[in-house]
């Protein structure tokens, strides 16, 4: 069965690149452009893994994780954060909120994203 990955990301270029890469790898990719949309899609799509950006309009990644933590079912879905800044404060918060792993966009390339996805997806 094809694994479903929900990518919550607002940058169009990134969405295109990631979805393309993941599709090539054989995953079913769903896209949400902000946190609000992302949360709704988690419920409808029920993904096997979430790729989550932090800085987004309407609802940022942190808030999304807070909401996920409130729901027992959603909490089970592994989350990999795709972050821009990688500041220590941010990393600390990400860990606290239960993200499995994180990627700093400027330091990782698409190949490594796939590696992380493979590592954490059930």
Partner 1 sequence: MIKFNLQFKLLISVVFIVLFSLFCFGYLSIRNQKTLAEDLFLDSAIALLQTLDAGITNRADLEDVEKLQTKVHKIIWLNPNITNITISLPIDEELIIVASSNVTKIGLPASLEEVSSYRTGELFTKILSAQDESQLLKVVTPVHVSGQKVGVYGLTLSLDTLERNVKNISFQFSVGILLTTIFIVVVLSIVIRTAVISPVKKLQEGIEIIGSGNLDHIISIHKNDEMGDLSIGFNNMTEKLKDRTEALAREKSSLEGKIKKRTSELESIRFEESEEMKKTSGALLNMLEDTDNAKEQTEKERDKTLAIITNFTDGLMVFNNQDELSLINAEAEKIFNIEAKNVINQSLGDLKNESSFNLLAKIIGRSWNSIFREELNIREDLVLEVSVINILGEKEEGGHLVILHNITREKRIEKMKTEFVSIAAHQLRTPLSAIKWTLRMFLDGDLGKVSKEQKGFLEKTYQSNERMISLINDLLNVSRIEEGRYVYRLDTVDIAKMTQILINAQKVNAEKRGIQLEYDMPKKKSPKIKVDEEKIGLAIQNLIDNAIRYTPKGGKVSVFLKNKKEGLEISVKDSGIGIPEDQQKRIFTKFFRATNAMKIDTEGSGLGLFIVKNIIDAHKGKVSFKSEKNKGTIFSIVLPKEK
Please state, as a whole number, how many other Cβ atoms lie within 10 Å of the Cβ of residue 15: 18
Size of the site for partner 1 (CB under 8 A): 21
What gap in Å lies between CA 88 and CA 101, rounded to an integer? 14
Residues 26-55 that bind partner 1 (CB under 8 A): 55
Span interacting with partner 1, options 26-34, 37-45, 68-76, 105-113, rule CB under 8 A: 105-113
Ramachandran bin of 81, using left for φ above 0, alpha for ψ from -120 to 50, beta for the remaining angles: beta
What gap in Å lies between CA 1 and CA 103, rounded to an integer? 26
Per-residue H/E/C for 57-83: CCCCHHHHHHHHHHCHHHHCCCEEEEE
Smallest separation (angstroms) from partner 1 to the CB of 110: 5
- Rule CB under 8 A: is residue 69 a binding residue for partner 1? no
Separation of first and last alpha carbons in the chain: 12
Span interacting with partner 1, options 7-15, 26-34, 69-77, 93-101, rule CB under 8 A: 7-15
Q: Which of 4, 21, 67, 120 binds partner 1 (CB under 8 A)?
A: 21
- Rule CB under 8 A: is residue 14 a binding residue for partner 1? yes
Interface residue list for partner 1 (CB under 8 A): 11, 13-14, 17-18, 20-21, 24, 55, 84-85, 87-90, 105-107, 109-111
């Amino acid at each position: 069965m094809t694994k479903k990955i929900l990518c919550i990301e607002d940058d169009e270029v990134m969405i295109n690149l990631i979805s393309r890469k993941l599709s090539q790898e054989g995953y079913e990719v769903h896209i949400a452009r902000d946190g609000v949309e992302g949360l709704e899609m988690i419920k409808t799509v029920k993904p096997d893994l979430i790729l989550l950006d932090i800085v987004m309009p309407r609802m940022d990644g942190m808030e999304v994780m807070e909401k996920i933590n409130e729901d027992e079912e959603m909490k089970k879905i592994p989350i990999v954060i795709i972050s821009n800044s990688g500041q220590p404060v941010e990393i600390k918060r990400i860990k606290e909120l239960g993200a499995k792993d994180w990627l700093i966009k400027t330091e990782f390339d698409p190949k490594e994203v796939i590696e992380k996805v493979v590592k954490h997806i059930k």
